């Protein structure tokens, strides 16, 4: 996961987005493909960061865009320059719904039930997934953050939202989010490079 350091605006200007969304809402297939090409990878990256299964992430991503298409073509969404915030709010809600569903169905196992197989199973899963060890360490470190810190890391670095968009999505002051993001990155550095943190 590459950590962006600047709050660069998104490549497409508001006029481009408004025009694209208007065409998509009117049923233009080419415009819908462009919407999917432009936003699909970012939604998938966000969802994938919150659930470890690529197949489930793909399923949730498709569900998000079905919802978006339904609401836009039926006139339930009017573009006011906040499409990305709305899109990623829908995505985050789907992820939360899935987490609640899994929690309801989960049957907790006592640690002794798994015994020495617990670590082995995790290592095998990583190997099967082809995950780079550094990426695995980063994922573990992010998972160790509190939920609010995880959320801002995922929205900023996976969804690639600007801090203003995140502030709009979460309905929180921009300064608060900037400070939280800074603290979250500092915590990650401390977990991933403890020696460097001690020397600073």
Tokens of 172: 């929180």
Determine the Cα–Cα distance for residues 110 and 156; give it in Å rounded to an integer.
Answer: 36
| C-beta separation of 49 from 158 below 8 A | yes
Q: What does the pLDDT read at residue 106?
A: 52
Q: What does the pLDDT read at residue 137?
A: 84
First to last CA, the chain: 24
Q: What does the pLDDT read at residue 5?
A: 42
pTM of the entire predicted model:
0.67
**Average pLDDT, 10 consecutive residues per value, the chain (200 residues):** 45 71 92 94 92 88 94 86 91 88 60 38 50 79 87 88 88 90 91 63
Of 170, 174, 102, 184, nearest to 142 by C-alpha is 184
Q: What does the pLDDT read at residue 15?
A: 55
Output the furthest CA–CA distance in the chain (Å, rounded).
59
* Ordered domains of the chain (ranges, CATH): 13-109 (1.10.1740.10), 132-200 (1.10.10.10)
Q: What does the pLDDT read at residue 111?
A: 43
């Amino acid at each position: 996961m590459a950590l962006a350091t600047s709050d660069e605006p998104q490549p497409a200007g508001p006029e481009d987005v408004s025009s694209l969304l208007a065409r998509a809402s009117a049923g233009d297939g080419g415009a819908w493909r462009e919407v999917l090409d432009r936003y699909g990878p970012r939604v998938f990256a966000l969802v994938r960061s919150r659930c470890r299964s690529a197949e489930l992430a793909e399923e949730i991503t498709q569900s998000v865009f079905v919802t978006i298409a339904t609401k836009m073509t039926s006139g339930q969404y009017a573009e006011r320059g906040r499409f990305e915030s709305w899109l990623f709010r829908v995505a985050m809600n789907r992820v939360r719904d899935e987490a609640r569903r899994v929690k309801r169905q989960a049957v907790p196992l006592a640690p002794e039930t798994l015994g020495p197989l617990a670590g082995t199973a995790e290592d095998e899963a990583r190997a099967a997934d082809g995950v780079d060890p550094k990426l695995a360490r980063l994922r573990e470190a992010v998972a160790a953050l509190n939920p609010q810190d995880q959320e801002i890391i995922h929205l900023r670095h996976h969804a690639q939202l600007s801090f203003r968009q995140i502030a709009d999505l979460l309905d929180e002051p921009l300064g608060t989010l900037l400070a939280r993001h800074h603290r979250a990155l500092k915590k990650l550095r401390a977990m991933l490079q403890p020696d460097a943190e001690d020397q600073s």
